């Protein structure tokens, strides 16, 4: 499936779009980690939860759990929230 990577993580992937395999969010993130070591930790915390500043969308639907199923023909958009003062 096509995965859109936020610009803050392009240092890992070298670009905005990558391909990854998996039937769930956890599997896709594991495949991304295999291809781009260190990237998963930027999205998933030590308690195995999606970090607060990361949002995941699969075909327009926001996902909240690593176990969420994904269709292989869809697109996963990883969005990083911005904050500041």
Please check whether residue 15 lies inside any domain of the structure.
yes
Structural domain range at position 73: 2-80
Where residue 83 falls among pLDDT bands split at 50, 70, 90?
low
CATH number of the domain bearing residue 15: 3.10.20.30
In a domain, 85, yes or no: no
What is this structure's pTM?
0.92
Instruction: Establish if 64 belongs to a structural domain.
Output: yes
Whether residue 22 is contained in a domain is answered as yes
| pLDDT tens-place string over residues 9-39 | 999 999 999 999 999 999 999 999 999 999 9
Q: Taking all residues of the chain, what is their mean pLDDT, rounded to a whole number?
A: 95
- Residues contacting 3, CB < 8 A, separation 6+: 17, 18, 19, 20, 28, 32, 75, 76, 77, 78
Q: For residue 12, is it within any domain? A: yes
Q: In whole angstroms, give the CA distance from residue 51 to residue 42.
A: 8
What is the distance between the alpha carbons of residues 76 and 1, in angstroms, rounded to a whole number?
A: 7
**What is the tally of structural domains in the chain?**
1
């Amino acid at each position: 499936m096509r995965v859109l990577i936020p610009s803050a993580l392009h240092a890992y992937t070298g670009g905005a779009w990558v391909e990854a395999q998996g039937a769930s969010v956890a599997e896709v993130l594991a495949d991304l980690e295999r291809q781009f070591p260190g990237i998963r930790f930027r999205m998933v915390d030590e308690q195995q939860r999606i970090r607060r500043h990361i949002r995941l969308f699969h075909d327009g639907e926001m996902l909240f759990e690593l176990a969420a199923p994904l269709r292989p023909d869809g697109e996963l958009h990883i969005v990083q929230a911005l904050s500041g003062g």
